[in-house]
């Protein structure tokens, strides 16, 4: 009897439930797809030579274990290039997606007002909360971001001040901190993530380290790092074969004492010993650089004494640099650990790059500015396991104007028509380079002989196989118009403003270290002619001609067929 009653009860319940299901209207709730968070991490002057994943002579030192692991979990770009290897123009290109003459930022004096801070503006349109922490260097207030905490200009390595939003006009709202900049910048980013971000929105965060920009100052905990390690040295530190031209060396190497800051004592205006040793110690230990006679072979003096001196400086230089890199790598780990603890790591697109490359003794050069690959190439890799395959790699050519369009499209937006860069989202997601993808990139360095570095102004084109550079420095100053706005006093060194005009050409497949300027080699005549045509077209298409600089165009016209 109990079983029969139970049967009828269950039947009635199921029947009622069925009637209820039939009469209840279907839910129209739509589950909104969650947008990915985006963190763009950029270190200052972190060059590809100072990674494991780029396979340089320094790779075996394992300088970047965290970054290497992150890179292998996503896609690595082998041909990412800067448009101008100097801080402000590079950062402007990244924020605007535009070339220098379009954005108006051609040099370190360039500014980027709020109305041109396009990347954060576009991300906000897509519903993102935006923030920037660390180095900004674009002079005007980063007001397009919802939140900012940025260094004044270059900032300090130790106990840095930061400019923030506040009651006073920019840049008067300043907070003081204690500690090393890499640690403090990461502390500030983590503070924003934990306390200031809106969990209901996706976030777009730019996390910019000051390190490893020179003059190098590492956190004290790294003082013993690599202390007893011999750092591999590039052959071109001592022997340079047929690298360069009369534009970079002068006739019979007559300009080598003043062109391009050096590791060795070659350059008497700025060499690395001046940066890393107290002045008296230099003179006491090694003597005065001016005592070395100027000869045809001064540029790479191979005496035992000079080799010992140069090697000593190089070893100390690289250890200071790599100690700063180590601090960056460790702080990136702190950031990744937090994202993992919060359960948002795999829903966050993480980009890592430098704002340009950096010369680590190659060709006896320090600093950047050059169109040579160590200076022009940017490290670049992206981790996002939801759409980017791990252990993927591409040799597709990208440049820093492509970053903004790519981030915008990855966030679900459309590439703005006013941006000159192109989104490479398809490459990230498929691993395939589209047939119509760019086959070359354009480069331009404007700041002729600036800031004691002594790099001549130049522009050029780079493909996967070749590089063509034109140095036009001889007529940089417009003597017919001495008051013209392009005659910037802060640029040229008075002792030799007029440097020779010259072309350089490198076959990168046969000569990846750029040791042989083959411009005069007849077998490359057709290749060079084709590159010149491409270069002319690119300058026109990118709004990078010299129509506004007739004195430079005059040089171009006179020497184009040299």
Q: What is the CATH number of the domain that holds 396?
A: 3.40.720.10
Q: Among the three residues 406, 431, 456, which one is the final residue of a domain in this structure?
A: 431
Does residue 176 share a domain with residue 62? yes
In this structure, what are the phi and psi dihedrals at residue 485, rounded to the nearest 5 degrees?
-65, -20
Report how far residue 364's alpha carbon sits from residue 100's, in angstroms, rounded to the nearest whole number: 29
Mark whether 162 and 281 lie in a shared domain.
Answer: no
Same-domain check for residues 393 and 533:
no
Cα dist. 518→249, 297, 363 in Å?
A: 16, 21, 17
Asked if 405 and 484 sit in the same domain, the reply is: no
Does one domain contain both 470 and 551? yes
Assess whether 420 and 450 both reside in one domain. no
SS (H, E, C) 503-518: EEEEECCCCCCCCECC
Helix axis angle, 65-72 relative to 304-341, nearest 10°?
60
Q: What is the mean pLDDT of the chain?
A: 89
**Which residue among 431, 452, 482 closes a domain?**
431
Return the pLDDT at 8: 37
Tell me the pairing of strands 440-445 and 129-134: unpaired
Q: Which of 378, 405, 431 is the last residue of a domain?
A: 431
What is the β-pairing status of strands 203-208 and 129-134? parallel
User: In terms of domains, do 71 and 188 share one?
Assistant: yes
Question: Can you tell me the distance from the alpha carbon of 531 to that of 517, in angstroms, rounded to the nearest whole number?
Answer: 15
Are 85 and 48 within 8 A, CB to CB?
Answer: no
Q: Is 553 within a domain? A: yes
If one counts the domains in the chain, the total is: 3
User: Is there a single domain that holds both residue 553 and residue 448?
Assistant: yes
Clarify whether residues 392 and 480 are in a common domain.
Answer: no
Residue 241 located in a structural domain? yes
Return all residues near 298 (Cβ < 8 A) that are at least 6 apart. 253, 256, 257, 266, 292
Q: Is residue 323 part of a domain?
A: no
| Structure tokens given for 362 | 């190659």
Least confident of 12-26, 85-99, 122-136, 384-398: 12-26
Helix segments in 390-490, DSSP class H: 403-410, 425-430
Q: Which of 224-228, 255-259, 337-341 has the lowest mean pLDDT?
A: 255-259
Claim to verify: residue 426 and residue 353 sit in the same structural domain:
yes
Q: Would 8 be classed as within a structural domain?
A: no
State whether 180 and 281 are in the same domain: no
Cβ-contact 392, 104 below 8 angstroms: no
Contact 157, 210 (CB under 8 A): yes
Give pLDDT, residue 11.
43
For 287-313, the pLDDT digits (tens) are 545 555 545 444 556 678 888 889 999
| Predicted local distance difference test score (pLDDT) of residue 21 | 40
- The answer to the question of residue 298 being in a domain is yes
Give domain status of residue 332, yes or no.
no
The SS3 of residue 353 is: strand
Q: What is the residue range of 427's domain?
A: 37-205+337-431
Residue 327 lies in a domain: no
Q: 73 and 180, same structural domain?
A: yes
- What percent of the chain lies above the pLDDT cut of 90? 75
Q: Out of 27-41, 54-68, 191-205, 210-224, pick the least confident.
A: 27-41
What pLDDT was estimated at residue 223?
Answer: 97
Q: What is the CATH number of the domain that holds 528?
A: 3.30.1120
Residue 242: which of 253, 233, 257 has the closest Cα?
253
The CB density around residue 190, as the number of other CB atoms within 10 Å, is 17
Report the pLDDT value the prediction gives residue 64, as an integer from 0 to 100.
Answer: 98
Q: How far apart are CA 41 and CA 44, in angstroms?
A: 10
Contact 429, 446 (CB under 8 A): no
């Amino acid at each position: 009897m109990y079983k029969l009653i139970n049967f009828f009860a269950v039947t009635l319940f199921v029947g009622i439930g069925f009637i209820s299901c039939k009469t209840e209207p279907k839910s129209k709730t739509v589950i909104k797809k969650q947008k990915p968070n985006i963190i763009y991490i950029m270190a200052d002057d972190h060059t590809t030579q100072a990674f494991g994943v780029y396979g340089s002579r320094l790779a075996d030192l394992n300088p970047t274990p965290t970054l290497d692991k992150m890179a292998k979990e996503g896609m690595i770009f082998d041909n990412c290039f800067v448009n101008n290897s100097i801080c402000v123009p590079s950062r402007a290109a990244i924020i605007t997606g535009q070339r220098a003459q379009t954005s108006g930022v051609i040099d370190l004096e360039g500014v980027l007002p709020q109305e041109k801070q396009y990347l954060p503006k576009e991300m906000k349109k897509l519903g993102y909360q935006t923030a920037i922490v660390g180095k900004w260097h674009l002079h005007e207030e980063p007001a397009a971001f919802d939140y900012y905490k940025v260094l004044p200009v270059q900032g300090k390595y130790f106990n840095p001040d930061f400019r923030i939003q506040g009651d006073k006009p920019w840049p008067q709202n300043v907070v003081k901190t204690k500690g090393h900049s890499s640690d403090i910048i990461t502390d500030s980013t983590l503070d924003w993530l934990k306390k200031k971000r809106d969990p209901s929105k996706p976030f777009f965060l730019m996390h910019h380290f000051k390190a490893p920009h020179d003059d190098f100052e590492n956190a004290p905990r790294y003082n013993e790092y690599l202390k007893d390690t011999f750092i591999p040295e590039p052959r071109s530190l001592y022997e340079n074969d047929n690298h360069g031209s009369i534009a970079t060396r002068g006739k019979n190497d007559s300009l080598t004492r003043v062109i391009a800051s050096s590791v060795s004592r070659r350059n008497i205006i700025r060499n690395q010993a001046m940066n890393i040793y107290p002045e008296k110690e230099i003179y006491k230990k090694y003597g005065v650089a001016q005592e070395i006679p100027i000869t045809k072979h001064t540029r790479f003096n191979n005496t035992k004494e000079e080799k010992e001196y140069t090697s000593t400086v190089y070893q100390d230089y690289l250890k200071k640099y790599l100690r700063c890199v180590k601090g960056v790598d460790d702080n990136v780990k702190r950031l990744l650990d937090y994202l993992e603890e919060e359960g948002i790591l795999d829903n966050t697109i993480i980009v890592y790059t430098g704002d340009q490359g950096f010369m680590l003794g190659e060709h006896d050069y320090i600093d950047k500015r050059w169109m040579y690959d160590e200076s022009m190439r940017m490290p670049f890799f992206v981790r996002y396991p939801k759409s980017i395959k791990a252990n993927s790699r591409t040799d597709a050519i990208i440049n820093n104007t492509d970053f903004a369009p790519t981030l915008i499209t990855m966030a679900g937006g459309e590439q703005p028509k006013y941006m000159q860069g192109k989104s490479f989202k398809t490459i990230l997601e498929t691993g395939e380079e589209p047939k119509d993808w760019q086959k070359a990139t354009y480069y331009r360095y404007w700041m002729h002989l600036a800031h004691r570095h002594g790099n001549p102004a130049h522009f050029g084109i780079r493909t996967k196989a070749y590089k063509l550079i034109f140095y036009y420095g001889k007529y940089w100053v417009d003597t017919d118009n001495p008051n013209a706005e392009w005659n910037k006093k802060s640029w040229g060194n008075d002792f030799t403003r007029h440097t020779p005009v010259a072309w350089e050409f490198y076959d990168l497949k046969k000569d990846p270290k750029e040791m042989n300027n083959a411009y005069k080699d007849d077998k490359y005549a057709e290749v060079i002619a084709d590159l010149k045509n491409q270069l002319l077209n690119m300058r026109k298409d990118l709004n990078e001609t010299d129509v506004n600089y007739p004195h430079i165009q005059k040089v171009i016209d006179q020497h184009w067929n040299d």
